[in-house]
Amino acid sequence: MTEIRLTNTKTRRKERFAPLDPNNVRMYVCGPTVYDRAHLGNARPVVVFDVLYRLLRHVYGADHVTYVRNFTDVDDKINARAAETGRDIGTITDETIGWFLEDMAALGALEPSAAPRATQYIPQMIAMIADLIAGGHAYAAEGHVLFDVRSYPEYGKLSGRSVDDMIAGARVEVAPYKRDPMDFVLWKPSGPDLPGWDSPWGRGRPGWHIECSAMSHELLGESFDIHGGGNDLMFPHHENELAQSCCAHPEGGFAQVWMHNEMLQVEGKKMSKSLGNFFTVRDLLDDGVPGEVIRFVFLSTHYGKPMDWTAKKAAEAEAVLRKWRAATAGIEPAAAAAPDVMEALCDDLNTPGAIAALHALARDEEWATLLTSARVLGVLGEDLAGWDVVADVDLDGFAEALSDARAAAMQTKDFSEVDRMKSALIAAGVEVRMSKAGVELVPGSGFDAAKLEGVV
């Protein structure tokens, strides 16, 4: 069996991955709160854990991997959006889930085995909260139920913090009904204008953290293999999940491996609306950036490092992918992926290393192996990823014509025809590279084959 090594956030070490049951490898990843379009940062964990899902399926078999990614469809942000727009909450969440699935599919993400909505698991949340109260790990107060952080001595180990340090160094809600400032809400009351469900503590709705604990237990059991998400979720969300799950089900270990991807920047700066560099996945897609290009840029940086999205990276990625798609058009995939590609992926999802191995295959013109290997990363799939394949256009012919025009101009000193052809090619979205070695034409961002008519 191929050995996979993954960095476990909980132990701060890269470890050999040994699933609890190789016949049912189980992974849970925190999904979106559905009140608006997914921004570019939201998409990074989707792509990261999609590659891990593909790798696990490749190693253990597609029928032996269960991947759960949830939707949070009960949340104060959703309530605020409904109040702001006057629209029904169910309409907002249904629409947003549809947007999310469409946008992530455009990035080449496979749908997980299960995509539960929080509102479908309210009874399981209520039952887990009741178990926590019975076990002395939670208490009811003024219509709320709170988790007693001091009842779980391991609290803070995932994020590497102590409770006392967290209280001293952070702003926490010091509500009068809390026994300890760090205690967090499992259940809260709902007024008549808010979503609510009947419970032993009155009509109310769940806190955010209990959702994932209840859904992962119901769908994956008290112990499963991998829990993933962005590192912004490590505290408090994942820390709280771990505490309440281990206290509610002490017979299990919850997640054996915790994985967190780093955050995303845009042109070297944190993405924010105030800086004018905030955009959604749909913004990029509508601007003509193919989803496969977005995915490739993401995978060019290791998931454990901050990723910087730049227009230059996107243009370079598109040029590479167009070349590879042209070269592999009509070629049957090889029977197996390249060992160097698989070795990189099995080494803590080293996607930059895997891409470097793909470039080596391209240099050696091992196109069939490149095609099979790239598909393990979710690129060069059979669909066209939202763009036309450059193989349909004879760019070599245009390059030859431009080269001939340049040779003639060198004799006559009249470069008007060369300038005309270059301008027309650039207008069609083609990058023109001219050197002593010759002329190279590379389709760039916004390439439009229809605009090539009349260039030659």
What CATH number is attached to the domain comprising 128?
Answer: 3.40.50.620
User: What are the pLDDT digits (tens) for 81-102?
Assistant: 999 999 999 999 999 999 999 9
Instruction: Flag whether pLDDT at 382 surpasses 90.
Output: no
Q: What is the pLDDT of residue 435?
A: 86
Domain presence at residue 381: no
Do 70 and 205 share a domain, yes or no? Answer: yes
* Residue 368 and residue 397 share a domain: no
Q: Which helix (H) or strand (E) holds 390?
A: none
Question: Lowest mean pLDDT: which of 229-238, 382-391, 406-415?
Answer: 382-391
Nearest to 152 by CA among 75, 221, 213, 70: 213
For the chain, the residue count is 456
Strand-pairing partners, residue 132, are: none
pLDDT of residue 200: 97
Rounded average pLDDT over 201-230:
97
Instruction: For residue 48, give every residue at least 6 positions away whose Cβ sits within 8 Å of its Cβ, in sequence order, or none.
Output: 228, 261, 298, 303, 349
Q: How far apart are CA 235 and CA 203, in angstroms?
A: 28
Residues 293 and 410 in one domain: no
**Nearest-angstrom CA–CA distance, 329 and 432:** 23
Shared-domain flag, residues 247 and 153 = yes
Would 383 be classed as within a structural domain? no
Give first-to-last CA distance, the chain, whole Å.
56
**Which of 39, 38, 41 lies closest to 231, judged by CA?**
41
Lowest mean pLDDT among 1-10, 105-114, 242-251, 432-441: 432-441
pLDDT (average), residues 174-196: 92
Per DSSP, 334 falls in state: P
Tokens 């016949």 sit on residue: 23
Give whichever of 309-323, 345-359, 420-434 has the largest mean pLDDT: 345-359
| Gap between the Cα atoms of 452 and 58, Å rounded | 41
Would 362 be classed as within a structural domain?
yes
Query: What are the angstrom distances between the C-alpha of 453 and each of 149, 174, 439, 441, 450?
Result: 69, 69, 19, 16, 6
Q: Average pLDDT in the 239-247 region?
A: 97
Share of the chain above pLDDT 70, in %: 95
d(Cα 288, Cα 257) in Å, to the nearest integer? 38
The pLDDT of residue 389: 45
Task: Tell me what pLDDT residue 122 has.
Answer: 98
The Cα–Cα gap between 6 and 188 comes to 37
Q: Which one has a higher pLDDT value, 187 or 289? A: 187
- Which phi and psi (to 5°) does residue 345 adopt? -65, -35
At 437 the pLDDT is: 81
Q: How far, in Å, CA of 327 to CA of 53, rounded?
A: 27
Q: Which of 347, 349, 348, 376 is nearest to 361 (CA)?
A: 376
pLDDT digits (tens, 9 = 90+) for 24-33: 999 999 999 9
| Vertex 362 angle, CA 361 and 365, to 5° | 90
Sign of CA dihedral 428, 431, 436, 438: negative
Residues 425-453: what's their mean pLDDT?
A: 81
Quote the CA–CA distance of 369 and 355 in Å, as a whole number: 13
367 and 229 in a common domain: no
For residue 438, the model assigns a pLDDT of 87
Q: What angle do CA 337, 340, 344 make, to 5 degrees?
A: 105
Query: Total domain count for the chain?
Result: 3
Q: Tell whether the torsion through CA atoms of 104, 106, 112 and 117 is positive or negative.
A: positive
Q: Same domain for 249 and 365?
A: no
CB 376 within 8 A of CB 339: no
Q: Is residue 40 part of a domain?
A: yes
Q: Is residue 440 part of a domain?
A: yes
Identify any residues that bridge with 264 across adjacent strands, giving them in sequence order: 307
CB atoms within 10 A of CB 269: 11
Task: Verify that 179 and 202 share a domain, yes or no.
Answer: yes
Residue 419 located in a structural domain: yes
For 420-424, what is the mean pLDDT?
92
Using CA atoms, how far apart are residues 369 and 273, in angstroms rounded to an integer?
Answer: 43
C-alpha–C-alpha distance, residues 387 and 326, integer Å: 12
The stretch 211-238 carries a mean pLDDT of 97
The top-scoring range by mean pLDDT among 133-142, 176-185, 420-429 is: 133-142
Model confidence at 250, pLDDT cuts 50, 70, 90, reads very high
- Kindly state the average pLDDT of the residues 410-428: 92
Tokens of residue 22, six digits: 């190789």
List, as one string, the DSSP characters of 342-368: HHHHHBT--HHHHHHHHHHHHHTT-HH
pLDDT of 386 reads: 61
In three-state secondary structure terms, 186 is: strand
Q: In angstroms, rounded to a whole number, what is the distance separating the alpha carbons of residues 350 and 372?
A: 17
pLDDT of residue 37: 95
**118 in Cβ contact with 206 (< 8 Å):** yes
What domain range is 12 assigned to? Answer: 5-261
Q: Are 105 and 112 in contact (CB under 8 A)?
A: no
The answer on pLDDT for 36 being more than 90 is yes
pLDDT at 271: 83
Q: What number is the average pLDDT over the span 288-303?
A: 95
State pLDDT tens for residues 5-24: 999 999 999 999 999 999 99
| pLDDT, position 167 | 61
d(CA 334, CA 361): 12
The pLDDT of residue 431 is: 84
Which pLDDT does position 176 carry in this prediction? 86
If asked whether residues 255 and 188 sit together in one domain, one would say yes
pLDDT at 392 over 80: no
85 part of a folded domain: yes
Looking at the fold, whether 100 and 155 belong to one and the same domain comes out as: yes
Answer whether residue 169 shows pLDDT above 90: no
Same domain? 233 vs 335: no
Domain endpoint, select from 237, 261, 285 = 261
Specify the pLDDT at position 390.
44
Residue 429 is predicted with a pLDDT of: 82
pLDDT attached to residue 447:
72
pLDDT at residue 1, rounded to an integer: 66
What pLDDT is attached to residue 172? Answer: 58
Q: Going edge to edge, which strands form the sheet with 264-266? A: 269-270, 264-266, 307-309
Q: Which tokens belong to 195?
A: 């979503």
Q: Give the pLDDT confidence of 277-286 residue by residue, as tens digits.
A: 888 999 999 9
Residue 384 above 60 pLDDT? no
What per-residue confidence (pLDDT) applies to 385?
57
* pTM of structure: 0.86
Q: What are the pLDDT digits (tens) for 41-84? A: 999 999 999 999 999 999 999 999 999 999 999 999 999 999 99
Distance CA(4)–CA(227), nearest Å, equals: 16
Does 391 score more than 50 pLDDT? no
